[in-house]
Structure 1
Amino acid sequence: MPQQGLVVFAKNKKRVSAFYQQTLGLDVIESESSHDLLRDKVYEVVIHTIPRKYAAGLAISKPPEPREATPFKPTFVVNSLAQVRSAAEATGGYLKTEAGAWHFRGHVVLGGWDPEGNIVQFKQAE
């Protein structure tokens, strides 16, 4: 069973789910109109649909503006930041350039955001 979990609320469940599937290599374990359950051996991510009455008031720009005013930033260890960058771009997300990378406890760390601007961080072992 996964050891780490995250729930992401999304206006466009399909698009946000694709971002996390591709950037983290997660499998779809369950897919309902209300949510997608994504999982591998380490991570479990639930993409939960924002109810229509709330989603109607949310505007997601194209490209999405990062939601910097959040107190949370999930961080994921990945095998390849280059693969994450390709997956993020393919699914409407963003990963900062290598020039924006920093080094922390034996990892190269880059921030980015998903297709709805939710902040996320990825790190690769050096």
Structure 2
Amino acid sequence: MKLHHKIFLTTSIFTLLFYNEFVGLNLGILGLFLSFFVLKETKEKNRDKTFLMLLLVSIFSSLASAWYGDFISFVAVFSSLLFLRFKSKNRNLKMLFAIPVWFVAIATFFHDFFQFKK
């Protein structure tokens, strides 16, 4: 699949999802789509334990964004997909760069879990 096909496909899915709909749910669906798209496009030699862990974190943060739809979930989805994409291109990414993703995921969990008003 060529780059302009990928851009067109992602743009059309983004447009279909965000047209007069709930932003959190659609961002979660888009995050799931992009996570599986990165998994499909990543070479087999770059799929190690760190890549699979970042893939799992990006899936969970996308589900959290679909469930809660708040800003912290958006930051978690954005950062996890950013690190996942970087890891898919650069095999030598150190585990140190995954720490901000875990920090945002834990902060999102505590922020959303202890909201008793809802």
For Structure 1 versus Structure 2, the TM-score category normalised by the shorter chain is: under 0.3
The structure where helix makes up a greater share of residues is: 2
The structure where strand makes up a greater share of residues is: 1
Whichever of the two has the greater Rg, that structure is: 2
| TM-score with structure 1 setting the length | 0.26
